[in-house]
Structure 1
């Protein structure tokens, strides 16, 4: 049929019909064998969950390569058959051409009407051949055996996972592969594999979606030798005949990701930056190969169990359906950059899983800066409490537990549910199973869950915290005081929440695959969901509360006993800053200017000027399952249960969580082997996900962060006045988040490049060297960069907030600076006793008295600028901006007729003073040494953060006399 890619044909009538398919004859007049007929002998393999993974794979691969299932007399399909159409040289099958063998228990289950559970130990072995089946017609068994490319195998083992099947996809001649070796390939076999993406669309007669008797196979007696009926036939044209002699060289063309075994990555030698080593010299030169590496992500595997014992699952269980899908059934959740959408095609994976994993949320459980900071805190506590080591250990363990509430949230929650009162430690967070065993086995699942960071099941299980009826506080105040610093609330174990209405989703496949049912919840659109981890209150462990001290409001709210004796501070206030802006909708529910975190950080479209892509809004499905657009298959759930809608109204939200921490992505991009991540996208074949994520962050900096304007005039002969106006476009402070982030202005007066001569700078404020260190006119680091002490007063020097700048040594730096109990500058998260400077750009609409009820006291104060900045009218009015005037005296020798002025706003996620403090605090710590070695070998020459700074906005004006 013209224009038709799929044709179904069913056997009918009682007469004898003989069909030749792939060289095998079968007859529809065959009758069902009598009960008790021999269907072969059992496999004799151990249950996969009962032995280490590598040991079972060794037995399984030997079983397959020797084709033991044939010797055991298992019933096969009537012949090699197609799983979808083959048109214009391309297969549209869900598998290649296949011939399936069924263990005795599977056949008996089918003969019994597919009712009840398939017994443990039973198997389905699918031999896979190049499509279409027609190319194998007339082949002898020996010749056909030579054409066998791979198998897909199902082994029933209800103890292993909710779906109860062990899945394997070995190639012919497959040997056991250690997927924990670089580049950490997706495992050949295991529980909780992506296969359920399609197999969860099946349904057993009368079974509930998540019922134990609802199996996961499309198997049908009509396909099996000795039973009546004919397999489904699909349209197959003759295009395959043109290249039949090239069958062995044909590219893989089916709906499965490539299962080829990637070779170890050849990594170019990358010399250390001698300038970095000389400057940050508290640690010597270390090669990345000698570092303590983070566990490979192949260990991060925690599956759902049918007994309901597992509270959380790792993101690879969501990846099965919420990753990008390529041809032949895509692209879905993927925007190709060219004309092809084949596996590995260039483009953007805009799927929830594909983008999330390369964000600070997806990487939170592996963040090397976080681990080094935690090591610093532990070392400082050890030193502070060297005379009371027991107390020091208690605080160290408690602080680690606190930090992992967000950075290792699923492992933390699972551990505390099973071990109430105990502390979740770094040993738990980094634990792995024996490399030969099943990933996440035993207590190693805590580490698997923790390293998955702020994973799918963290946000999609969150719900508002119920407020007791007797609590008189406004709910917003109740939330801030009881549900932040990682103390989020989750719904019932079997529920997952999303923003889409219940009547607009198809929950069947998820419920069948994982036992989790998706439900609508407006909370997924609320900024409070983000506020649970983006409002952090911590103790100042060097400042105990004295009997004569006034009450500490934050300490009084503390629920951790070990912290109550200390004064507290709000260490991170991003959510609070948003509340005190014109974008909030927690108090003014009908605010027409409202924009939540999700509105800004989860895009609805994709624009890539480099490639000429503009998809605004994105039109795509949110899940890739075997839905009602796939070729016909047996034993599917009703089509209505499998209808996945294309989101065409802008409701599809990318999980790009755009931010500015390009340094973090560069570390993972260049040291994926050290940090244990797989850069290639198994589901789409894309090798561009990290670079796309970096590009996304760069676009956020340029488009959504801040504006800069500059104007200049000559009030005197060689006197220049430049006014720079900066406007914050974010819905919170800029910068925000952890206190060491900073932004700064560079103001440059220069003669433009002309006649082959380079640009010549004649005056500048805010210039840096190659390490991002602010320097003066002499090219030396400013004494304020590392808080050098004033020779006369002994006070530490820093850059205050400026309204007028007159010297190259003065730089407008937007930052917060904290003092510890000794009055010294600190980058410790638990020693922020006094804020000496906070001139970070306020969000538009900021008010000194706040937005209304709910944001009060110390939480409101946490949104205030410091005293100096508060006196600046730009801050006091809540304009969201700042204006700086530069009064510059130029040398008389300068030709003032050919000058331009450029103002650039830069951002630093890792300022040099922070790195120096970090490396000096615990130089012998493995996490600190790891970060130092990676940073010293980091190649930023072609990076957007060259010279350790990210350009945000820039403006230029030409001077006129």
Structure 2
């Protein structure tokens, strides 16, 4: 046989072999035994290397040449109605490797062998299109030609590869699109591996488990019923399909465009518009009607989304020039965090580990944004999938300060400064350090990361106990480590710690809060403090125990095979199958004490010689801090505990409100109020349940019952740090976040979080009221009342937050006197527009005291906490707070002086001392206390009016502003560690932050204001 003849006959031989294979009777599976795939296991290679081989293998359709068994026909995975496909996948035809066939022959019993593969060829739906095509006479005569045609129409593949060592569920999930027209396989593989070769599109623990966790076993719905075909009594599941797809437009897109000019297709499959079923495109005005009645949000008031400035803000540079020449000038020079999709740590094949990333939770708890998949944990405002607001657990947590804590650029710059302060301390005389610089720095890092890098820091400590090769101390460099995606990627010396960096970047993630358990009754009853007067018979023993043992990021962990939640009627099987842990009811997730573990921070004070609170010293468990005096650095939980919000606990008729009541609301309201839902009603998870198209071999439906909850609570978790979220919104490339939501396709998650903050600021934070205005002898006197509406002090949290009052006197719209005005950089200025000396705290007495009466423009009422170090300098360090000359933050309603707690023992009294104000003089507002204390402050202004003022045209305007990061804090960051990568990153972003025409314009968040028009009889 000549070579030329062989080249002509070979295609016919291959087609004949394919015809024999494809028409081989399936019942009994006679014929040659198919071969297994000659591919490595996914866990044996870096992901890009493995998927390069896998995608090449799939695009060349090598599973066909191996003779693998497959579904008898292309089949639907859901109905096709009025132009909308409701399938869980597109139309599919599945191929099964020999290992899977052996398992199916064994009646789906036992384990599928490693290396097994289940391949879904995916086609544009509906499947009847391909079933009709099969009736073409030429395909009836030549089945191999039909097979060749299908091979051209495959739009994509998804694949399951069994690898029991890769994850708890034991499967590698992946998928790839078919090459574009005229694109080579090599080029298609290269582009798709680089674009999609990481989670969430593929890998272990992929979102596919949202549905596949409902399978009866081995996470697959595979069944002989789909293989046996039309000659069998067992026919594949059929779904309703109308004729709305039978249009020319349906065939316009590749690869169906290959069929568009086929006379068989045109004459048999396409029908005129008037004969197709109803669709919204055929009803005039319907889309306008839907848009109007669903309140689609184009006209709604929203916080404007801003692009970052292309170059530094001139006003910012003028105020903070110190780093202008040092900081990176190009985006590419800024040290960026890895993408959020690299934060992917899955439950391993053995016993469940303590922590895993939220990527394992996203599939079920990430929401669904409309047809065809349904609406779950989503407020839909338009007809398209993703039009609306993702209010799912994952969706809102992702953009909360808790979800962003590990990537928080403000925190990382603060931590960098703390390290610089410790190095400075080593050179001071006398040396305030009680240990080595390195030990102190590491102790501070571990302490801070017990909240901001909660999972990574803890998991490393847990693993190091079992693996002596691991250093249990977390290094901030780990935040920039990721799994190597290719063998060509460099392998850093500390690569063994990449998992802990991925976990730490997740901040306070799902597996933190939902693993926190209440202290055991036995531990509480057996607790015996060091001194007898620390507890008394009146002590609330459980609370005291929690404060003593479970503060500063310490908490009781539940078992690794459980996640705690508020519901006791939950379906446990899907979650247990997917991650090896069950959802379990635990009332503690609704207890404010859970929040108190990270919102009661007890820290050492370097340089503080006299221990003011022996209880707080005894609380410390880190030996590196044993010799330091301690004080409470953040007291938000204690402030709540010492408020009317907590005092009615257990009394349904009281005004009791927990942390969760305020920060995890059940309702939903847009900023303009156009959408206002008192209580959301939704499922709390999206799995393949009875609401999905039918599938074979599922768990019993009673195990998949996800009820609708009328007490759903959102994971909003926001305060007022809009500046942080603006940085994530404007610099996603630097901070490694992706603004398009994977599950719902909504791209407004960060916008919603900012709007939640602005709404919280306007409605639920504070009130301001001009009580009176009088004018006499050229002097204007006005009384301004401020009320704290929160359940803790305002501001609360870290000490550098501040709120201030701007009071303006306007004549015919022109400002003639003002206290609390700022420049464009948020710096408070005097009447001549010059920054106040007190704005940068240059000397120990250069600050704004607590004012009862203001008479000059350089006097400003600022509600804040200020601290000085051992050198009597103002400091923003968390561990150098030796002296606090001022803490006049607005107290919550019902506040009581800490001495009230003395009968409850020294544990309670010394913790509650952190809620006492100081530096407020004899202001009667702060002397008033007790259950009736309204949480108010009254402020008097006495102003000498300029000569010639027309008093009949005067307007008094009072506004309360908030700054999460005030000027002096930025100044101390930029001058303390100017060469640090986190500090330079912060400077790059803050100098280019665009707040124009937003509620945060001029670096201050407007909360509330009031105006008073002066009348002649005032």
Give the TM-score, by structure 2 length: 0.84
User: Could you tell me how far 1:429 is from its partner in structure 2?
Assistant: 3.7
> Match for residue 481 of structure 1?
548
Secondary structure at 2:838 match in 1: coil
> Match for residue 539 of structure 1?
604
Distance 1:799 1:780 in 2: 16
Distance 2:486 2:228 in 1: 38
> Match for residue 521 of structure 1?
586
Secondary structure at 2:189 match in 1: coil
Q: 1:416 and 2:464 equivalent? A: no
> Match for residue 155 of structure 1?
161
Deviations 1:770-794 (A, max 9, x none): 11101000100111111244xxxxx
> Match for residue 392 of structure 1?
437
- Contact persistence 1:179–1:186 (CA under 8 A): no
User: Could you tell me how far 1:373 is from its partner in structure 2?
Assistant: 0.4
> Match for residue 378 of structure 1?
419
Secondary structure at 1:762 match in 2: strand
Please identify, of 283-292 and 560-569, the stretch whose mean Cα deviation from structure 2 is larger: 283-292
Q: 1:810 and 2:853 equivalent? A: no
Distance 1:714 1:857 in 2: 44
Distance 1:593 1:550 in 2: 34
Distance change >3 Å, CA 27–CA 295, structure 1 → 2: closer
Distance 2:789 2:191 in 1: 50
Q: 1:46 and 2:40 equivalent? A: yes
User: Could you tell me how far 1:247 is from its partner in structure 2?
Assistant: 4.7
> Match for residue 189 of structure 2?
175
Higher helix share: 2
Distance change >3 Å, CA 488–CA 698, structure 1 → 2: same
Distance 1:127 1:887 in 2: 79
Alignment of 1:8-23 (within 5 A): none
Distance 2:623 2:741 in 1: 44
Distance 2:97 2:477 in 1: 43
Query: Paired residue for 1:334, among 378, 383, 390?
Result: 378
Secondary structure at 1:584 match in 2: helix
Alignment of 1:78-93 (within 5 A): 78-93=72-87
Give the TM-score, by structure 1 length: 0.89
> Match for residue 775 of structure 1?
829
> Match for residue 18 of structure 1?
none
Structure 2: tracts of 5 or more residues without a match: 1-18, 135-145, 180-187, 258-278, 280-305, 466-470, 529-534, 536-540
Query: Paired residue for 2:117, among 99, 102, 123?
Result: 123
Q: 1:676 and 2:736 equivalent? A: yes
Distance change >3 Å, CA 223–CA 279, structure 1 → 2: same
Distance 2:32 2:24 in 1: 20
Secondary structure at 1:692 match in 2: helix
Distance change >3 Å, CA 564–CA 179, structure 1 → 2: farther
Distance 1:918 1:80 in 2: 62
> Match for residue 226 of structure 2?
223
Please identify, of 171-180 and 406-415, the stretch whose mean Cα deviation from structure 2 is larger: 171-180
- Contact persistence 2:417–2:976 (CA under 8 A): yes
Alignment of 1:156-555 (within 5 A): 156-173=162-179, 174-176=188-190, 186-204=199-217, 215-225=218-228, 228=232, 229-243=234-248, 245-248=250-253, 270-285=310-325, 286-287=328-329, 288-308=331-351, 310-326=353-369, 327-338=371-382, 340-342=383-385, 345-386=386-427, 391-420=436-465, 422-436=472-486, 442-466=496-520, 467-472=523-528, 473=535, 474-500=541-567, 502=568, 504-544=569-609, 552-555=614-617
Secondary structure at 1:720 match in 2: strand
- Contact persistence 2:649–2:656 (CA under 8 A): no
Distance change >3 Å, CA 27–CA 931, structure 1 → 2: closer
Distance change >3 Å, CA 294–CA 120, structure 1 → 2: same
Alignment of 1:35-114 (within 5 A): 38-114=32-108
> Match for residue 702 of structure 2?
640
Distance 1:451 1:716 in 2: 60
> Match for residue 827 of structure 1?
876
Distance 1:312 1:400 in 2: 20
Secondary structure at 1:825 match in 2: coil
> Match for residue 582 of structure 1?
644
Deviations 1:806-829 (A, max 9, x none): 111111100001111121111000
> Match for residue 208 of structure 1?
none
User: Could you tell me how far 1:943 is from its partner in structure 2?
Assistant: 2.8
Secondary structure at 2:832 match in 1: coil
- Contact persistence 1:906–1:953 (CA under 8 A): yes
Distance change >3 Å, CA 702–CA 894, structure 1 → 2: same
Q: 1:915 and 2:970 equivalent? A: yes
Distance change >3 Å, CA 169–CA 622, structure 1 → 2: same
Distance change >3 Å, CA 39–CA 941, structure 1 → 2: farther
Distance change >3 Å, CA 245–CA 406, structure 1 → 2: closer
Distance 2:586 2:948 in 1: 68
User: Could you tell me how far 1:359 is from its partner in structure 2?
Assistant: 0.6
- Contact persistence 2:307–2:994 (CA under 8 A): no
Alignment of 1:536-935 (within 5 A): 536-544=601-609, 552-584=614-646, 592-610=654-672, 612-648=674-710, 651-752=711-812, 759-789=813-843, 795-848=844-897, 849-850=899-900, 853=904, 856-868=908-920, 871-874=923-926, 876-877=928-929, 878-935=933-990
User: Could you tell me how far 1:599 is from its partner in structure 2?
Assistant: 0.3
User: Could you tell me how far 1:245 is from its partner in structure 2?
Assistant: 5.0
- Contact persistence 1:180–1:296 (CA under 8 A): no
Deviations 1:661-713 (A, max 9, x none): 00000000111101111111111111111111111110010111011111332
User: Could you tell me how far 1:79 is from its partner in structure 2?
Assistant: 1.1
Deviations 1:83-131 (A, max 9, x none): 1110101111111011111101101101110001100000001000000
Deviations 1:422-478 (A, max 9, x none): 322213343222242799995311111111100001000000123253325422111
Deviations 1:485-521 (A, max 9, x none): 0011110110100011x2x211221111111100000
Deviations 1:633-684 (A, max 9, x none): 1001011111111112xx1000011210000000001111011111111111
Deviations 1:280-325 (A, max 9, x none): 1221252232111112212211001230152211001000100011
Distance 1:93 1:579 in 2: 51
Secondary structure at 1:749 match in 2: strand
- Contact persistence 2:307–2:730 (CA under 8 A): no
Please identify, of 515-524 and 419-428, the stretch whose mean Cα deviation from structure 2 is larger: 419-428
User: Could you tell me how far 1:179 is from its partner in structure 2?
Assistant: 8.1
Please identify, of 489-498 and 842-851, the stretch whose mean Cα deviation from structure 2 is larger: 842-851
RMSD between aligned alpha carbons? 2.7
Secondary structure at 1:815 match in 2: strand
Secondary structure at 2:632 match in 1: strand
Secondary structure at 1:821 match in 2: coil
> Match for residue 956 of structure 1?
1011
- Contact persistence 1:904–1:952 (CA under 8 A): yes
- Contact persistence 2:605–2:881 (CA under 8 A): yes
Distance change >3 Å, CA 695–CA 468, structure 1 → 2: closer
- Contact persistence 2:51–2:193 (CA under 8 A): no
Aligned length: 893
User: Could you tell me how far 1:765 is from its partner in structure 2?
Assistant: 0.6
Distance 1:611 1:691 in 2: 16
Secondary structure at 1:868 match in 2: coil
